[in-house]
């Protein structure tokens, strides 16, 4: 275990910037987001960003390749460059867990090499959540906000940052700044973990449970009458999918540049009426069907195909961002046995 003062943390970032692009959470105009570090950047007080670290590995829009045609011949141009080595500092436990969910999608055969390349070059420095938000419910999915995973975990305690290397990749990073860090025992960190556990027990959603959901529950939930009422107010805006750290749906499009064709992919949403639209139309024509698809995937379909792992990490972004306050928490409570609408 190592530590450095709040003043020295910027020296750590400066030192690492010679070998890595370092991204840190900043707050500007009431928005918290990751920004590439340069001398003068000031860390946000709360590291929970409006958008998750998913953007670094599965960006909202990404060029895939180009095509050039001449007569009947087609030239395929792979535009990819080797990803830079980069560090994301201050990732909360829920967002780190979301990357392991995305790994199950993009690193399964056939491997998505665009995603894989970024994962191999990225270093995740997580932070324990000493000030979780009221909308947080990561413990519902057995995520420990006091002991986040990643390559390096950090604790912000008083005037110091504490560092603990968890992987070879993380220890390599710490070795580069060892001269700026000092050794420390685990005592202060153990006290902080106890304090975080006490805070967690006071969260409004601490007792939220998904014990009634999971693998092979399709028949039990698919035709529940509550879907109609739950989806009635849904605007189909897709906000919940765009702030979600585990959503992985995308569309692939071709754009004629005048000099050839650029193929790119961009995020899509199962809440949109044209999602997966085929020649004959859409297989989910009503908002109720699209609404049901989103939450059945999170709570039933994904765990059915992924060893019981849910496709939600309880980050609470959909709870705080939905314009009509309809979110996965209400779905869980309503459809659970003994739920609030039972």
Is residue 144 located within the same domain as residue 269? no
Q: What is the pLDDT of residue 175?
A: 96
| Selection from 87, 72, 68 nearest residue 263 by Cα | 68
Q: At which of 200, 227, 251 does a domain end?
A: 200
For residue 316, is it left (φ>0), alpha (ψ between -120 and 50) or beta? Answer: left
Is residue 34 located within the same domain as residue 165? yes
Q: Is residue 152 part of a domain?
A: yes
Q: Is residue 211 part of a domain?
A: no
Is residue 98 located within the same domain as residue 195? yes
Is residue 196 located within the same domain as residue 232? no
Listed in sequence order, the residues at least 6 apart from 51 whose beta carbon sits closer than 8 Å to its beta carbon are 33, 243
Q: What is the pLDDT of residue 342?
A: 41
Into how many domains does the chain fold?
2
Q: What is the pLDDT of residue 341?
A: 40
* pLDDT in single tens digits along all 342 residues of the chain: 999 998 899 999 999 999 999 999 999 988 999 999 999 999 998 899 999 999 999 999 999 999 988 888 889 998 877 778 999 999 999 999 999 999 999 999 999 999 999 999 999 999 999 999 999 999 999 999 999 999 999 999 999 999 999 999 999 999 999 999 999 888 889 999 999 999 999 999 999 999 999 999 999 999 999 999 999 988 989 899 999 999 999 999 999 988 889 999 999 988 887 776 666 666 677 889 999 999 999 999 999 999 999 999 999 999 999 999 889 999 999 999 755 544
Q: What is the pLDDT of residue 275?
A: 76
Is residue 225 located within the same domain as residue 187? no
Q: Please, what's the b/e burial string for 175-212 (b: 16 or more CB within 10 A of its CB; e: otherwise)?
A: eebeebbeeeeeebbeebbeebeeebeebebeebebee
Q: What is the pLDDT of residue 220?
A: 94
**Paired tokens of 123:** 């270093």
Q: At which of 147, 171, 200 does a domain end?
A: 200
Q: What is the pLDDT of residue 72?
A: 83
Distance separating alpha carbons of residues 246 and 223, to the nearest angstrom: 25
Is residue 174 located within the same domain as residue 226? no
Is residue 24 located within the same domain as residue 143? yes
pTM: 0.91
Q: What is the pLDDT of residue 274?
A: 75
Is residue 229 located within the same domain as residue 191? no
Q: Which domain range does residue 326 map to?
A: 218-335
């Amino acid at each position: 275990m190592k530590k450095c003062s709040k003043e020295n943390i910027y020296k750590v970032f400066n030192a690492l910037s010679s070998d890595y692009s370092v991204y840190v959470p900043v707050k500007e105009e009431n928005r918290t987001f990751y920004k590439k570090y340069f001398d003068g950047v000031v860390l946000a007080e709360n590291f929970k960003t409006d958008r998750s670290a998913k953007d670094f590995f599965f960006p909202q829009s990404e060029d895939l390749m180009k095509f050039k045609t001449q007569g009947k011949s087609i030239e395929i141009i792979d535009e990819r460059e080797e990803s830079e080595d980069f560090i994301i500092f201050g990732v909360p436990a829920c967002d780190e867990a979301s990357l392991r969910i995305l790994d199950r999608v993009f690193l399964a055969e056939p491997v998505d090499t665009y995603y894989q390349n970024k994962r191999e070059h990225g270093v995740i420095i997580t932070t324990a959540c000493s000030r979780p938000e009221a909308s947080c419910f990561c413990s519902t999915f057995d995520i420990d906000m006091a002991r986040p995973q990643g390559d390096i975990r950090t604790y912000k305690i008083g005037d110091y940052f504490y560092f603990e290397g968890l992987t070879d990749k993380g220890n390599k990073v710490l070795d580069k700044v060892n001269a700026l860090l000092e050794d420390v025992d685990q005592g202060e960190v153990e006290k902080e973990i106890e304090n975080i556990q006490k805070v967690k027990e006071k969260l409004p959603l601490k007792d939220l449970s998904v014990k009634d959901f999971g693998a092979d529950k399709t028949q039990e939930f698919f035709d529940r009458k509550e879907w109609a009422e739950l989806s009635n107010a849904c605007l189909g805006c897709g906000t919940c999918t765009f702030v979600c750290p585990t959503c992985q749906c995308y569309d692939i499009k071709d754009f004629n540049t005048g000099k050839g064709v650029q193929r790119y992919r961009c995020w899509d949403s199962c809440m949109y009426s044209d999602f997966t639209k085929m020649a004959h139309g859409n297989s989910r024509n009503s908002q109720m069907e699209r609404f049901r698809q989103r939450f059945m995937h999170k709570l039933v379909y994904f765990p059915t195909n992924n060893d019981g792992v849910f496709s939600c990490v309880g980050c609470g972004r959909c709870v705080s961002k939905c314009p009509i306050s309809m979110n996965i928490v209400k779905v869980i409570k309503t459809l659970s046995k003994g739920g609030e609408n039972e």
